[in-house]
Amino acid sequence: MAKTDKTPLFDRVFKPEIITLENGHTVERPKSRVPLILALLLIAIIIASKSTGFDFGLLISRFGQLGVILGKIFNPNWEFFPKVIPPLLGTIKMSIVGTVVGCVLALPISIFASSNINKNKPSLLVIRFIISVVRSLPAIVYAYFFVLVFGLGTFAGSLAIAFFTFGIVAKMLYENIETIDMGPYEAMQSFGATTLESFWTACLPQILPQFFDNCLYCFELNVRNSSILGYVGAGGLGLLINERVGLRQYNDVGMILLTIFVVVMTIDLVNDWIRSKIV
């Protein structure tokens, strides 16, 4: 009886095939789900193509244009480099401030979003929902709002990055906290420490390396992504990219992209070095 309740809908609609062996034993072979999934996928593709106006012919006929643009991008204008530096520094500054602020805020909140520390179900759900909401808006939308409220410039960008970072790091962190060994926490409770004291002394040392790792990862992500925030006026490289693309100066765009590439690579290397130190 319990079995029929647990049978997935699919297996109730498409009854499993019963195979009888020569010795009379039977085996149920569930019907393959692949045809159904493929059919659904096909329908989805048709709907999506209609809704986006998918046009392969256009792509082929205009493909040469891409070659021209990419050709210019891969032939960067070196003389443009000095002009890249100031907004690049702006981007890095925004990323540092935003990452640090976001990570520092994420740490205490994620403690209360972990089901093994916070036993109060309603507050747990509310906090998690807030984290989800914060995470679901793209950084550039935040940046747009903050530019309108605080004026053009890097402050709005830093704030937007802080929100974005908070969302990601808090989620990674509470998932992390839920996998730690709760034994030491129990021990601390057994000799009379409060919840907070127990967490701080018994759980924090376990999550700190992972936390720093997440922060570094986020910093790299932020440098990469914050280069677009300037598009809505939040400072950094985005403004310059927008301007150069508008003027069709793709060699300059190439220089900007090359700079980002080198910076991201450098940060990646430094991060790897720091990681090898802390783990």
Partner 1 sequence: MIEFKDVSKTYPNGTKGLQHINLQIEQGEFLAIIGLSGAGKSTLIRTINRMIDITDGQLLVDDTDVMSLKGKDLRRFRRKIGMIFQSFNLVSRSTVIKNVLSSNVPDMPWYKTMFGLYSQEQKLRALEALDKVNILEKAYNRCDELSGGQMQRVALARTVNQNPSIILADEPVASLDPIIADVVMSDFARINKDMNITILINIHHVDLALKYATRVIGIRAGEIVYDGPASEVTQEVLNLVYMGKAVPTSTDKVEIEGMVINNG
Partner 2 sequence: MNNYSENVLEKLSSEPKNLWKRILIFLLILSLVIWGNTGSNFNGITEKGMNVAKAILYGITHPETLLLFNWTSKGIPMLLLETISIAFLGTLIGSLLAIPFAFLSATNIVPKWVSLIFRSITMLIRTIPALVWALIWIRVTGPGAFCGVVTQSIASIGMVSKMYITAIENLDTGVLEALDACGCNTLEKIRVGVIPQLSASFISTAIYRFDINLKDATILGIVGAGGIGFPLTDAIANARWNRVGAFVICLVLLVIIIEWISTKIRARLARGRS
Give the binding site for partner 1 (CB under 8 A).
181, 183-184, 186-194, 197, 200-202, 205-206, 209
Residue among 118, 217, 231, 275 that touches partner 2 (CB under 8 A) = 231
Which residue number, 79 or 243, has a Cβ lying nearer to partner 2?
Answer: 243
Q: Which of 132, 179, 194, 266 binds partner 2 (CB under 8 A)?
A: 132
**Span from 14-22, 42-50, 105-113, 202-210 in contact with partner 2 (CB under 8 A):** 42-50
105 binds, among partner 2, partner 1, none (CB under 5 to 8 A by kind): none
Which token pair is 54? 């998918």
In whole angstroms, how close is the CB of 191 to partner 2 at the nearest point? 22
Tell me the C-alpha to C-alpha distance, in Å, between residue 147 and each of 141, 142, 165, 221, 246. 10, 8, 18, 21, 21
Q: 15-43 burial by CB neighbour count: b if 16+ within 10 A, else e?
A: eeeeeeeeeeeeeeeeeeeeeeeeeeeee
Query: Considering the rule CB under 8 A, would residue 77 count as an interface residue with partner 2?
Result: no
Tokens 């009854």 belong to 15
135: its two tokens: 């995470």
Q: Which stretch binds partner 2 (CB under 8 A): 16-24, 186-194, 196-204, 235-243?
A: 235-243
User: How far lies 8's CA from each of 5, 12, 18, 30, 219, in Å?
Assistant: 8, 7, 17, 11, 43
Q: Does residue number 47 form part of the binding site for partner 2 (CB under 8 A)?
A: yes
Q: Which of 225, 233, 240, 267 binds partner 2 (CB under 8 A)?
A: 225
Figure out which of the listed residues 27, 43, 70, 125 binds partner 2, where binding follows CB under 8 A.
70
* CA atoms of 83 and 115, how far apart (whole Å): 50
Kindly state whether residue 105 participates in binding partner 2, applying the rule CB under 8 A: no
For residue 249, give Cα distances in angstroms to 63, 67, 72, 145. Answer: 19, 15, 8, 29
Residue 162: CB partners within 8 Å, gap ≥ 6?
A: 97, 98, 99, 101, 102, 105
Given the rule CB under 8 A, which residues bind partner 2? 44-45, 47-49, 51-55, 58-59, 62-63, 65-66, 69-70, 73, 90, 92-97, 100, 132-133, 136-138, 140-141, 144-145, 148-155, 158, 224-225, 227-228, 231-232, 235, 238, 241-242, 245, 253, 257, 260-261, 264
